[in-house]
Structure 1
Amino acid sequence: MANNSTSAANHVHNLPKTSSRCITESFTATHDFEVTNYLQLDGMGVGKFVYSGTFSVAGYDWSIRFYPDGVRDDCDGNASAFLYCVSQAKAVRTKFTLNMLEKEGKVKVTDLGAIERIISSPTYDWGYPRFVEKSKLKSLSHANSGNLIIRCVLTVTKEHRTDAVTQPNLADHLLQMWKDTEGADVTFSVCGQLFRAHRCLLAARSPVFKAELFGPMKEKATNCIKIDDIEPQIFEALLHFTYTDSMLDDERFKEDRYGVEKLRVICEGKLCESIDVETVATTLVLAEQHHCKDVKEACLEFMASRKVLRAVMETDGFKHLVTTCPLLMKEILEKVSRSDL
């Protein structure tokens, strides 16, 4: 019975973990609406207003409306100020203040509390019917050459959304390892731009990198490999694919995917240039295993001379060739026989 309980507990412990999160986004902005020559606006009539330019917050357009003689008859000698949703959107959750300032916006005339409203049809504006007394505005106008500022501080809260949160997988961890460069032991200089990476991972993922980093063409006595025949963004896409087995979701790289093939051709060229008696057999095996036709042909051409072949047959690489790819011997002998004709 105890064993069954332990087994059940382990089963629960090993179940995949899932989670989700509720995300609420809010956006805050400030807009100053300068009212000039206030005295010329006094007496324009109840319910009549002047308005600010349109400003955007959280994807919605807004405007400030100032009523010098009040928005309605019961404003009792006060001017009114309202925030208006120009977009006339549905159910926009807002929190805002409107306050009058003087002296270039540095001194508050009013200190009104915040209004929290969900703006929706049919009412697209909310504000302060008794914003500031008209008598006070007149004295302030005289002191400030008729200029006043209404400052709006608006916060818009977007609708909640729930996102699933997946657990990091191996590709996520490898990508983070690449980005952090922790433990990186090789640097590629691509047209002057440096990329740090991990030799063992690159070699495990790509025969071309394996040859570059550990094979006969490996760079001697340096941890920096220079590559000038490929664009840095293409090389970045290649490294991203090597670490994650996925391509970058960037339009640049969708157009430049041929660059991975271009890099393969460049590395094959370097392999061909590095062929000598000691490396040719190992390189030929590598070319055969990974279908690198140009490299294979270069190796066969190099061994076409009987004198060269005799020297190659003395190397450990040739013993490895005979053991792993014995059928290559037939192609080598055919190449030698044709060269003797």
Structure 2
Amino acid sequence: MGCTASTRRAGWGSLVFDVSGYGGVSLDVQSSEVFTVGAYDWQIRFYEEGVFGHSGGYVAVYLFLVSKKAKVRATFELSLVDITGSTPPRTMRTVDAEFDSGDRTCFGHPEFMRKSELEASPYLRGDRLTIECAITICKEAPVSSKSFAEVPPSDITDHLRKLWQGKEGSDVTFEVQGEAFPAHKTVLAMRSPVFKAELYGALRENDMGRVIIGDMQPAVFEALLHFIYTDSLPTMDDLYQDQDEYKEIIGHLLVAADRYAMERLKIICESILCKNIDVKTVVTTLALADQHHCNKLTDACIEFIASLGKVDDIIASQGYAELKRTCPLALLELWEKATRLYMI
């Protein structure tokens, strides 16, 4: 078991925590070294057999405030990391948690990941796994001598997720390549102006109880609904079988976000694609960025092309050949645009 501190700045810091001995004669808990962020001392604790006596086959991960007589609000992310870099991190984020050394010393995830999934994933290498924790200090406050009832964090997304998954009260069903997805018109209209116009606008069809979508993959539409109800993407294991499929679905999800005017989802997808550019897909990603007006993704593709020093590998890629065959004028325009930006 080891720890590696990463770069820190005022009010922000992170720690990489290596857990060893998984699946052996387990301790109840494995703890990281104490590390400091924002003048506060913290510790990560990993529970292989879960917590509270009802783990349900899950591992649990928690962040503890170990400073005495301290009270602080913080946002933190706990991530399982594939040390080879071949699989994106699996991240759980907690927003605006109020740590209080006299009351609520820890926050975390009792169902961080199902043990069977962890043991079949690339995050577990032999008996070792790596957890990264990033902390951002939001607000500091002195510890009061009075005791007040703690206000729990918002759980509205949990209720919306259960509403969607339980299908209770659904009043519209989307048919996507033969698969049916029940949903709630008011929730869709609340989250997307395009859905609002289609379901309640003057041009809506008479029977909007069933809507057929013929130009989208079921997995992409399901991810879109997941975001509409939870304001988050599905877990990475639910989105892909391999890295290429993951990137492909994120690209299609960006198109769907643009189609339904869901700007936050579009920005999230754009950010993911910016971090996953490679030689095979850079040309088609550049075309996607240009078509859907994603300026940051366009710039990232151009920087990637420029960083190679030569374009032979890109020209030899399948994406380049396909775009050249189907849209030669668009390809020429993209290359001209990339050249102009590179020369600025």
State if a TM-score over 0.5 links the two structures.
no
Greater RCO (CA < 8 Å, at least 6 residues apart) = 1
Larger radius of gyration: 1
TM bucket normalised to smaller = 0.3 to 0.5
- TM-score under structure 2 normalisation? 0.35
